[in-house]
Structure 1
Amino acid sequence: MKIVIFGATGRTGSEIVRRALRDGHEVKALVRTPEKCTPRQGLTLFQGDVRDTEAVKQLFEGANAVVSALGTDRTTTLTEAMPVIVEEMELHSVLRILTIGTAGILQSRNDPSKLRYEAGDSNRKLTFAAKEHHKVFDILRSSSLDWTIVCPTYLPDGEAVGNYRVERDYLPVDGKQISVGDTAEFAYQELIAGEHIGHRIGLSY
């Protein structure tokens, strides 16, 4: 499989890249600082900013799937980039996309008509990141793509240990955290298997 990855130098993105290369897939990644990536067989790096339409466009030829592990970092980078990514995927007939979101955009158990960040399910006072990921959710569900949004709760560093819980569109009950390793492992396996197309996936121990 030929996979395009945005956010390849981040915590979760770099772990997805490692798994994809381990299994013999070809990976293209757009990065601002190529020096942050160790050259490896099967990995092609493109230098540029994901907000630059021309930089984004060069990755999609021949691709089979796309991963966005872009964060928000208190900027609108994510929501500036996603419309271009979706447009280029549709132009190149690349249908499969998996993104890393946040548990804030899962449905609220207190008020299922709202998302968790809207209904106050979590204790987080800052909602900027959730609002950005909500915009991405809206963009993807109005597209023609086969999308999945992986929505981990609190995300500490850590290896994949398994035994995590998965639930469509909701956070598993009493879910508190999920490691970067297990988030990357689930996301990578879901990218390949496509068992949850058209859903947000709550992920926690």
Structure 2
Amino acid sequence: MGKIVVFGAGGRAGRRVVEEAAARGHAVTAVVRTPPEQRVDGRVTIAAGDVTDPASVAATAAGHDAAITAAVRLDVPAVDFYTAATRALVAGLGEAGVRRLVLVGIGSALEVAPGRRALDDPAFPPGHRAFALGHVAQLDVLADAPLDWVVLAPPVVFLDEAAERTGRYRTGGTAPLSPAPTSFSYADLAVALVDEAESPRHHRVMVAVGA
């Protein structure tokens, strides 16, 4: 099995990714901002790291085969965070020699028509727009990145933290899935993310993912 480093491992998506990757036999480094201590728990090594710091990314990613990021900050502007984090990931992973990067995106950044994203709709909730634009800024950074990356964008629905893993999901293109999913679980999002880390199917593109 391989070695996967997971940034944002303390969040709802990140925790599921760590569990999924470890269950498949991968050695996992779970990177969080402030762990109680650095420790090894079975196949999982919990480590402190800052996804916005290239040196920290390089140090925690060294020796791994792929990286997955589900990192998020809600206490700073989304555009600032996602821009800084993506630049740090590109630089740090490059230094560490990790070529594959899988990122969690957002469904509202998908195109509902050529050149028009869901977040461009005048009816799109203003309170969610700034966060969605952070993910768009992330894509702008990735456009010229010398990495093999993919962004998986889950649907604009409630992501169910309690739902059981089914192991089933669909992927599409840069438009929302049709028919649109009515729900999607964090557990199955994690399945899709780990699948792309261990057996890449999409390259240098954002794709929709859902039930």
**Pairwise TM-score range, normalised by the shorter structure:** 0.7 to 0.9
Q: How big is each residue's C-alpha offset from its partner over 1:3-48, in whole Å with a ceiling of 9 and x where there is no partner? A: 1110101111111111111122111222123249995212222224
- Which of 171, 174, 181 lines up with 1:169 in the alignment? 174
Among candidates 70, 90, 95, match of residue 94 of structure 2: 90
Q: Output the aligned Cα RMSD.
A: 2.3
Q: Structure 1 residues 51, 90: closer, same or farther in 2, change over 3 A?
A: closer
For 2:14 and 2:41, how far apart are their aligned partners in 1?
Answer: 15
Percent identity reads 27
Instruction: Report the TM-score when normalising by structure 1.
Output: 0.87
- Residue by residue over 1:53-76, the C-alpha shift from the partner in whole angstroms, topping out at 9 and shown as x without a partner, is 443331122121110001242524
Q: Note if contact 2:64-2:98 (Cα within 8 Å) is conserved in structure 1.
A: yes
Q: 1:91–1:49: structure 2 CA closer, same or farther, 3 Å change rule?
A: closer
State the AA in 2 paired with 1:166: T
5+ residue gaps in structure 2?
A: none
Q: Does 1:135 align with 2:140?
A: no
SS of the equivalent of 2:184 reads coil
Tell me what 1:77 maps to: 81
User: 1:1-205 maps to which residues of 2 (within 5 A)?
Assistant: 1-35=2-36, 39-73=40-74, 75=76, 76-108=80-112, 111-119=113-121, 123-125=124-126, 126-153=128-155, 154=157, 155-157=159-161, 158-173=163-178, 174-205=180-211
Q: How many angstroms does 1:2 deviate by?
A: 1.4
Paired residues in the alignment total 202
**Cα distance in 2, alignment partners of residues 88 and 52 from structure 1:** 8
Gaps of 5+ in 1: none
Q: Kindly state the Cα deviation for residue 180 of structure 1 after the two structures are TM-superposed.
A: 1.0
